[in-house]
């Protein structure tokens, strides 16, 4: 048996620590005698154990180096280096963004504008914004503080830097919270999507371009190639892209660059993109509408149940709901997994689920699935989860 790792057509292979130790003991006895005592309480046994551990650690280092060359197995800095071949980079901690509609006199130039929400949090506009002939323009404002800065729809309504001709500001949708440094799992997922950039499918290319933009957290693309509107209401031969996070101008530019000529875009957020020939193109897309979900759980406590288990149930449910993708329905049966995962000890059962109902916030809870529209995304908060312990 070899004591070090080997690489063949199927990958890298290394012996386990017990196998290395057993082989070293066999070689040692072949030199000094088969009756040599080499158990863990002997000096020679301890020495061979140290040699075996050193070889095992070296083998594990070799495995880590080997795995760092593939995006699906690399970690940390190694993964950050690998994804550069796809033209993307790990996203650093980001700032919250919100789409705001500015109204005023046509031609007004807003330079280094700042707006404020009802909580006193300030949001910075793009360096220069020109109000068009229509008297309104939608741009993306960025929170001045990093992290998860929240602002519900309609809460950004104060002008902090008054400008002649600028009359009002409002936000039709809630802010997209900032995020922490991108995790390995999220970066791997984005790397897989980014490979669609040079694809044959136009929709794949658009989604890949949008997914690569800074600040984009969730995204979904739809295409209606029929001659009539589809079940989602997307017009004939139109594209509908749903994007959470990211800058409005960058998103519309990415869509305009990748889409085919003559294909209309569908959505409630829009911006005009000027092509290389100076022709203006109005590009539309959707910001996902948040659908808060209320969950009512009834459990019967068994021996060993503690109050922190109930808090873990709420936390697990909220975390699961916030991982659902855009347009993904809330399935009642899937909620039992995060509930049961709250058990402190997986080998014991300290509670029994006797009732589980869900509803959109403000609706009537029922033991049935919740349908989510193509341009919506479900979400949860521990405060919206009611737990009854019998």
Give 243's strand partners. 219
Q: Does any domain span residue 206?
A: yes
Domain hosting residue 298, numbered range: 289-389
The alpha carbon of 100 is separated from its chain's Cα centroid by a whole number of angstroms, namely 23
Same domain, 62 and 112: no
Q: Does any domain span residue 77?
A: no
- Which of 170, 185, 210 delimits the end of a domain? 170
Greatest CA separation found in the chain?
A: 98
Same domain, 279 and 329: no
Rounded to an integer, what distance in angstroms lies between the CA atom of residue 229 and that of residue 220?
Answer: 18
Q: What is the pLDDT of residue 348?
A: 85
Task: Tell me which residues of the chain have a pLDDT lower than 70.
Answer: 196-200
Same domain, 234 and 203: yes
* Cβ-count burial 81-91 (b if 16+ within 10 Å, e if not): ebbeebebebb
Rounded to an integer, what distance in angstroms lies between the CA atom of residue 234 and that of residue 318?
Answer: 31
Rounded to an integer, what distance in angstroms lies between the CA atom of residue 314 and that of residue 83?
Answer: 36
Same domain, 293 and 382: yes
Q: What is the pLDDT of residue 178?
A: 83
Give how many domains the chain has, as a whole number.
4
Same domain, 230 and 273: yes
Same domain, 259 and 224: yes
Q: What is the pLDDT of residue 381?
A: 83
Two tokens at 336? 């039992």
Rounded to an integer, what distance in angstroms lies between the CA atom of residue 50 and that of residue 55?
Answer: 9
Find out whether 231 and 198 touch, Cβ atoms under 8 Å: no
Same domain, 296 and 275: no
Same domain, 229 and 271: yes
SS (H, E, C) the chain: CCCCCEEECCEEECCCHHHHHHHHHHHHHHHHCCCCCCCCCCHHHHHHHHHHHHHHHHHHHHHHHHHCCCCCCCCHHHHHHHHHHHCCCCCCCCEEEEEEEEEECCCCEEECCEEEECCCCEEECCCEEECCCCCEEEEEEEEEEEECCCCCCCCEEEECCCCCCEEEEECCCCCECCCCCCCHHHHHHHHHHHCCCCCCCHHHHHHHHHHCCCCEEEEEEEECCCCCCCCCCCCCCCEEEEEEECCHHHHHHHHHHHCCCCCCEECCEEEEEECCCCCEEEEEEECCEEEEEEEEEEEEECCCCCHHHHHHHHHHHHHHHCCCCCCCCECHHHHHHHHHCCCCCCCCCCEEEEEEEEEECCCCCECCCECCCCCEEEECCHHHEEEEEC
Q: Does any domain span residue 41?
A: yes
Side-chain-side CA neighbours of 19 within 13 Å: the count stands at 11
Same domain, 238 and 252: yes
Rounded to an integer, what distance in angstroms lies between the CA atom of residue 283 and that of residue 295?
Answer: 38
Which residues, including other chains, have CB under 8 Å from residue 261's CB and lie 6 or more apart? none
Q: What is the pTM of this model?
A: 0.58
Q: Does any domain span residue 178?
A: no
Name the residue with tokens 């659902």.
324
- Which of 104, 135, 170 delimits the end of a domain? 170
Same domain, 309 and 381: yes
- Which of 244, 264, 285 delimits the end of a domain? 285
Evaluated on CA atoms 319, 324, 325, 326, the torsion sign reads: negative
Q: What is the pLDDT of residue 278?
A: 84
Neighbours of 178 (CB within 10 A): 20
Q: Helices 184-194 and 202-211: crossing angle, nearest 10°? A: 150
Q: Does any domain span residue 32?
A: yes
Q: Does any domain span residue 186?
A: no
Name the residue with tokens 């000096």.
43
The alpha carbon of 336 is separated from its chain's Cα centroid by a whole number of angstroms, namely 22
Q: Does any domain span residue 349?
A: yes
Q: What is the pLDDT of residue 196?
A: 63
Same domain, 302 and 376: yes
Strands 95-104 and 166-170: antiparallel
Q: What is the pLDDT of residue 353?
A: 93
Burial class (CB in 10 A: 0-12, 13-18, 19+), 227: exposed
Q: Does any domain span residue 260?
A: yes
Same domain, 270 and 207: yes
């Amino acid at each position: 048996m070899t004591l070090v790792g080997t690489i063949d057509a199927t990958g890298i292979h290394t012996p386990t620590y017990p196998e290395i130790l057993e082989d070293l003991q066999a070689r040692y006895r072949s030199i000094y005698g088969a009756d040599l005592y080499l158990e863990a309480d002997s000096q020679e046994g301890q020495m061979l154990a140290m040699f075996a551990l050193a070889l095992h650690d070296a083998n594990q280092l070799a495995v880590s180096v080997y795995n760092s060359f593939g995006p699906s197995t690399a970690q940390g800095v190694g993964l950050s280096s690998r994804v550069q071949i796809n033209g993307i980079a790990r996203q650093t901690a980001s700032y919250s963004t919100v789409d705001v509609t500015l109204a005023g006199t046509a031609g007004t130039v807003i330079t280094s504008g700042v707006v404020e929400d009802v909580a006193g949090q300030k949001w910075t506009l793009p360096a220069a914004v020109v109000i068009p002939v229509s008297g309104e323009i939608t741009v993306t404002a960025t929170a001045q503080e990093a992290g998860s800065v929240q602002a519900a729809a309609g809460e950004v309504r104060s002008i902090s830097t008054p400008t002649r001709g600028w009359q009002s500001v409002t936000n039709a949708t809630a802010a997209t919270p900032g995020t922490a440094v991108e995790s390995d799992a999220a970066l791997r997922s984005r790397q897989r999507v980014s490979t669609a950039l040079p694809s044959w499918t136009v929709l794949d290319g658009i989604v890949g371009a949008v997914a690569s933009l800074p600040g984009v957290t969730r995204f979904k693309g739809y295409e209606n190639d029929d001659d009539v509107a589809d079940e989602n209401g997307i017009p004939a031969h139109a594209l509908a892209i749903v994007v959470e996070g990211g800058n409005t101008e960058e998103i519309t530019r990415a869509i305009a660059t990748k889409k085919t000529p003559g294909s209309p875009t569908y959505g409630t957020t829009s911006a005009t993109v000027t092509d290389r020939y100076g022709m203006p193109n109005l590009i539309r897309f959707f910001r996902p509408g948040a659908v808060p979900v209320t969950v009512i759980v009834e459990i019967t406590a068994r021996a060993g149940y503690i109050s922190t288990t109930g808090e873990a149930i709420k936390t697990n449910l909220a975390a699961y709901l916030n991982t659902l993708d855009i347009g993904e329905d809330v399935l009642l049966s899937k909620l039992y997994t995060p509930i049961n995962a709250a058990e402190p000890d997986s080998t014991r059962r300290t509670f029994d689920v006797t009732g589980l109902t869900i509803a959109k916030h403000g609706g009537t809870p029922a033991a049935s699935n919740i349908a989510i529209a193509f341009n919506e995304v479900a979400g949860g908060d521990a405060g919206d989860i009611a737990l009854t312990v019998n």
